[in-house]
Structure 1
Amino acid sequence: MSMTLTAADGHTFEAFTAGPEDAEHGIVVLQEIFGVNSHIRDVCEFYAAKGYRVIAPALFDRVEPGIELGYTGEDISRGKDLKAKVSYEDALKDIEAAAGAMSVQKKLGVVGFCWGGTLTWLAACRSSLFSAASCWYGAGIAELRNEKPHCPVQMHFGEKDKSIPASDVEAIRQAQPQADVCVYDADHGFGCDQRGSYDPFASELARTRTVEFFKANL
């Protein structure tokens, strides 16, 4: 389902929703640079099936509404261009609006992938609305590693990911010793079954760890 949300600055945007509206807990799902596409909707349905209320805000609506990209080279270039036009501050306004739409839920988690993985880290640090954050291969986390999270954080990285070298992962570990940092024998985007880098074993393990992490903290 789709719903229209309004951010604190008056910006209106769409969001994909799934799961029971009266669920005890909720999860905000944050997109890659490819928009709220079929992969992100699949992720939402997965957590909805676990009993959560789920909302995925369309973060590119600030630039162009209705963006849904695939995973070709052309899609990657387009996604990077769109991402460059959305500031962290504006994205966080939309993320908080999505969280605010789940006022019935007692606790909220946030999970994101790629660009959304970095935004998940920022949401954990710059918002007090979340009780748990699971960041999947967020390349921008290393640069932001000295921020202070307000909730437990879990991170998932692929050791073959050229965009996030082992030195970055180690720097994150050093800066955030309390974070649960998991590394897999996999490449960037290993959790998306529509990408050539998809790794079923790593994806299932990371997903299982995320489910258990939310179960423990929400």
Structure 2
Amino acid sequence: MSTRTVVVPDGEFALRVWGTEGPGILLVQEIYGVGAYMEAVAEDLAALGYVVAAPDLFWRIRPGWAAAHDEEGLKASLELASQFDAEKGLDDLEASLEALRGLTTGGVGLLGFCFGGTFAYLLGARADDLSAVVSFYGSGVPDQLGLLDQIECPLQFHFGGSDPYIAREKVAAVEKAVEGRANVEMHVEEDAGHAFHNRKAPMFYNPEAAARAWRLTEEFLARHLPTK
């Protein structure tokens, strides 16, 4: 892992990078920051042959934020997320994506979890020339389904069917909205709650659902963002 600096009009922030050659994946953090879980996911992706970049999105509020995956860390992270400027965050993600393009030898895609699942979706509607977008349980997705028309690349959604933060009715609205869209895959783990893939958070982790969803993610990326 190495760290690069991304410069934007009002400052600069850290972009952590794993891997040295291959297609690129911009990994968009959960509210806990770029901590142990994001590092583990980045290492998994790098092992598959990707160059992975994870920007520090909370740099304007708390640079280097990496909270513990417990109730106290959740409370503090939610407070930070409530102060987050979405438009500036999207600008930061665009700058990070441009930096990542300069490090890759193939296409680029987006992968986000929770908070990052929403922002991967939002960025997918704004960025050009993406090979794939994967969004895990983005709570902001159901309220912005009109953006689906702006995403032309392959898009994969993952949700938990028993998510206390995203009502099943809202997940159903996403299911209905993506019907008939050839570029969209929708996967719901009915037995899983929020953040079910987070193996660093015992309060959320569902090993069986996580394994199923990750297998689908790997297969999706292999089809649309192949490493060889």
Place the TM-score, normalised by the shorter chain, in its bin: over 0.9
Q: How many residues align?
A: 216
Conservation of the 8 A alpha-carbon contact between 1:5 and 1:97: no
> Which 4+ runs in 1 deviate beyond 3 A?
none
What does the per-residue CA deviation read over 1:94-115, in whole Å, with 9 as the maximum and x for residues that have no partner? 2122211222332111111110
- Structure 1 residue ranges without an equivalent (≥5): none
- Aligned residue type for 1:197: F
Residue 26 (1) aligns with residue 32 (2): no
SS in 1 for 2:109: strand
Conservation of the 8 A alpha-carbon contact between 2:157 and 2:186: yes
Question: TM-score with structure 2 length normalisation?
Answer: 0.89
- Structure 2 residue ranges without an equivalent (≥5): none
Conservation of the 8 A alpha-carbon contact between 1:146 and 1:176: no
Q: CA deviation at 1:7?
A: 4.6
Conservation of the 8 A alpha-carbon contact between 2:36 and 2:200: no
SS in 1 for 2:77: helix
What does the per-residue CA deviation read over 1:115-159, in whole Å, with 9 as the maximum and x for residues that have no partner? 000011111111114221111111110111111213111011111
- Aligned residue type for 1:17: V
SS in 2 for 1:62: coil
Q: How does 1:156-195 map to 2 (within 5 A)?
A: 156-177=158-179, 178=181, 179-184=184-189, 185-195=191-201
Conservation of the 8 A alpha-carbon contact between 2:178 and 2:186: no
What does the per-residue CA deviation read over 1:42-74, in whole Å, with 9 as the maximum and x for residues that have no partner? 000000000000001110112121111012222
Q: 1:37 aligns with which of 35, 44, 53?
A: 35
Conservation of the 8 A alpha-carbon contact between 2:19 and 2:50: yes
- Aligned residue type for 1:120: A
Residue 84 (1) aligns with residue 89 (2): no
Partner in structure 1 of residue 45 of structure 2: 47
Q: How large is the Cα RMSD of the aligned pairs? A: 1.4
Question: TM-score with structure 1 length normalisation?
Answer: 0.93
Partner in structure 2 of residue 138 of structure 1: 138
Distance 1:19 1:139 in 2: 30
